[in-house]
Structure 1
């Protein structure tokens, strides 16, 4: 796996809606900018060898890093794969939509729910939003949120940005009733 760089972003929200947040809300993102193992090879029918060669290593690299950056237990999480212009969206999906990748984060966060994702293709500096959901109950609305990410020089055409995001809580100042209250 050829990693060009790792980017870590930690956001701490102290005020929301004009009011101080009782406990600052933290969200962390850790992204690896890697060479796309399939770029420049034309249409690759069997992605399995590349998945086997890279997905688990990426999960093992990113999962502990994002939790360390968060500095607190994760309550919400998400993932992303942003493919450079010489690749296919399927290349990013191949790396992140496998238990070889996602189970590293699930185990590290003691999570059980589906790990929400975004995949897209774009040029260096493309904006993308990583969706977040609660780690054990996807119906908890307070934890449905997203975090916006942009890496100014990535992905290059033959690269993929693979990222994990974690939040230590739900949205700041959330006040929606539980989903179960709607009939």
Structure 2
């Protein structure tokens, strides 16, 4: 990927059988893809940073494709998603915001016609910083059963001049979802909300 200095990538898959209740007949899965890259803006303020979103686009596509493959290979099996970034201490929060477009649009492109906004979070921190990536249903943000999060992080990143970029996908609702609200089967799919 031209213009990106990749130090490390990590792919984690969780299969959730139960959380104290009955064992799921088909355990939902959630997966996170993380890429640790050099932050080209670390160390001092740069006015013009927006161009770097274009540079990140191929990385976003690669990460989204890896997630789908790790979750069985069928984009239609993906029901939830989210994204986030951890900025090393020589960077600024806005450097994490550069991931909004390439991370979100990559997942939408790989998944097809996903309608809901991709929830996101970011923070500045050092090696070992953890980040909870919010997750919602890919077609309707108000599907309560799919409100979730996946914690991500690395023991050795981000270093001061790095970014940890993360994408998360899930194959279903929380394992024991039962608090009501809009059901996935009742999505109208008109506006990404309901």
SS at match of 2:67: helix
Counterpart selection for 1:83 from 82, 87, 93: 87
Structure 2 runs not aligned, ≥5 long:
184-194
Distance in 1 between the 2:176 and 2:52 partners? 43
TM-score, normalising length from structure 1?
A: 0.91
Distance in 1 between the 2:11 and 2:136 partners? 20
SS at match of 1:87: coil
- Two-structure CA RMSD over aligned residues (Å): 1.4
Deviation string, structure 1 residues 69-89 (Cα, Å, up to 9, x no partner): 122521000001110001001
Distance in 1 between the 2:50 and 2:12 partners? 31
- Following TM superposition, by how much is the alpha carbon of 1:179 offset from its aligned partner in structure 2, in angstroms? 4.4
Distance in 2 between the 1:170 and 1:97 partners? 24
Whichever structure has more strand as a proportion of its residues is 1
Say whether the 8 Å CA contact 1:37–1:50 is kept in structure 2.
no
Deviation string, structure 1 residues 6-56 (Cα, Å, up to 9, x no partner): 10100011122232122111000011000001112x11111123223x221
Say whether the 8 Å CA contact 2:61–2:110 is kept in structure 1.
no
Residue 189 of structure 2 is matched in structure 1 by none
Structure 1 runs not aligned, ≥5 long:
none
Residue 70 of structure 2 is matched in structure 1 by 69
Question: How many residue pairs were aligned?
Answer: 176
Deviation string, structure 1 residues 160-181 (Cα, Å, up to 9, x no partner): 000100000010011121249x
Residues 1:104 and 2:106 aligned together? yes
- Following TM superposition, by how much is the alpha carbon of 1:112 offset from its aligned partner in structure 2, in angstroms? 1.2
Distance in 2 between the 1:64 and 1:50 partners? 21
